[in-house]
Amino acid sequence: MSTRFEGKTAVVTGAGSGIGRYSALALAQEGASVMVSDIDTQGGQETVRMIQESNGEAHFSPCDVSQSDQVENLIQATVDRYGRLDCAINNAGVSMRPSSTVELDEAEWDRVIGINLKSVYLCMKYELPHMQARGGGAIVNVSSLAGFRGKAGTLAYTASKHGVIGMTKTAALEYASEGIRINAISPGLTESGMTTGLDQRPELADDLIALIPMGRMGLSQNIADGVVWLCGDTASFVTGHVLVIDGGQTIA
Ligand SMILES: NC(=O)c1ccc[n+]([C@@H]2O[C@H](COP(=O)([O-])OP(=O)(O)OC[C@H]3O[C@@H](n4cnc5c(N)ncnc54)[C@H](O)[C@@H]3O)[C@@H](O)[C@H]2O)c1
């Protein structure tokens, strides 16, 4: 266990699985106290157990990130418990049921935009005042390869992930002079709860992996490594950046 984040507090949304879980584990491994949050209580509590097993400090607080009052409560609970907020990983997200633009129903649009896009606005809205009060902090918003490209059948998901990048750049400019760095991370196809369905569809998995120049899916740990870097002091002059971790797919 390293001490790079000793005395610091992080909140991670969607930390009951995949990229969020590995980010929470990695930050705790570096010495941060981590508020693990998810809509899935069982998954979140499992992440806390994993952190505690490796002698890290973590606590679970449930939150549906699309609901303003729940996000406000989560951030307040974090500060009440740990006294400060240094790092925030706004990671929770969902994929969408594939659908053409005409066939996409409004309820599905609202669900995906609420969980993937509005949530990032809500999280930053309630996280930033605590960082302002202490004169600094680091926020990492999780976007996607879909934040750069279009893909047929994914209108709401693509809109949400493009939007996360736009919000990251705008908020980064608003708070740069206050020592708060706001960056995004853009994973490519990554092994996580979101992609477990591919286990049952090996041919589709092979087709998708064929699009990745490095010839494999990412691991959630690969993304967590980027999250830790963006949160840490070695990225102290980095803000408004989108860190792409995708085995080369975006540039292909
Ligand atoms: N896995 C990939 O290939 C991939 C690629 C690009 C981007 N991403 C992004 O990475 C992020 C993390 O996803 P993942 O791949 O780890 O998937 P995952 O399904 O393993 O984890 C997502 C977590 O978010 C939680 N969640 C869902 N709705 C929520 C809500 N309303 N409130 C709070 N939590 C909620 C889920 O319970 C789950 O624990 C997402 O934003 C996703 O869009 C994933």
Q: What is the pLDDT of residues 115-142, one digit of tens each?
A: 999 999 999 999 999 999 999 999 999 9
d(CA 97, CA 154): 8
Q: Where are the beta strands (DSSP E) in the chain?
A: 9-12, 33-38, 57-62, 87-90, 137-142, 180-187, 190-191, 218-219, 242-245
Q: Where are the beta strands (DSSP E) in 21-136?
A: 33-38, 57-62, 87-90
Residue 74, Cβ neighbours under 10 Å: how many? 23
pLDDT bin (cut points 50, 70, 90) of residue 3 is confident
Q: Is 17 exposed, middle or buried (0-12, 13-18, 19+ CB in 10 A)?
A: buried
Write down how long the chain is. Answer: 252
d(CA 187, CA 218): 8
What are the tens digits of pLDDT across the range 136-190?
999 999 999 999 999 999 999 999 999 999 999 999 999 999 999 999 999 999 9
Q: Where are the beta strands (DSSP E) in 132-200?
A: 137-142, 180-187, 190-191
Residue 177, C-beta contacts closer than 8 angstroms, at least 6 positions apart: none
157 is catalytic: yes
Contact 46, 60 (CB under 8 A): no
Taking each helix axis as running N to C, give the angle between helix 18-29 and helix 41-53, from 0 to 180 degrees, rounded to the nearest 10: 30
Query: Quick one: pLDDT at residue 1?
Result: 72
In testing the pocket of ligand 1, which one of 11, 21, 25, 38 has its CB within 8 Å of the most ligand atoms?
A: 38
Q: Is 100 exposed, middle or buried (0-12, 13-18, 19+ CB in 10 A)?
A: exposed
DSSP for 43-62 reads HHHHHHHHHHHTT-EEEEEE
Relative to the CA of 142, which ligand 1 atom is closest?
Answer: 41
d(CA 90, CA 68): 14
Report residues whose beta carbon is within 6 angstroms of any ligand 1 atom. Answer: 13-14, 16-20, 38-40, 43, 63-66, 91-94, 115, 142, 144-145, 187, 189-190, 192-195
Residue 133, C-beta contacts closer than 8 angstroms, at least 6 positions apart: none
Q: Nearest residue CA, atom 1 of ligand 1? A: 190
d(CA 108, CA 47): 29
* CA dihedral of residues 217, 221, 223, 227 (deg, nearest 10): 180
What are the tens digits of pLDDT across the range 205-231?
999 999 999 999 999 999 999 999 999
What are the tens digits of pLDDT across the range 59-104?
999 999 999 999 999 999 999 999 999 999 999 999 999 999 999 9
Domain range 9-242, CATH class: alpha beta
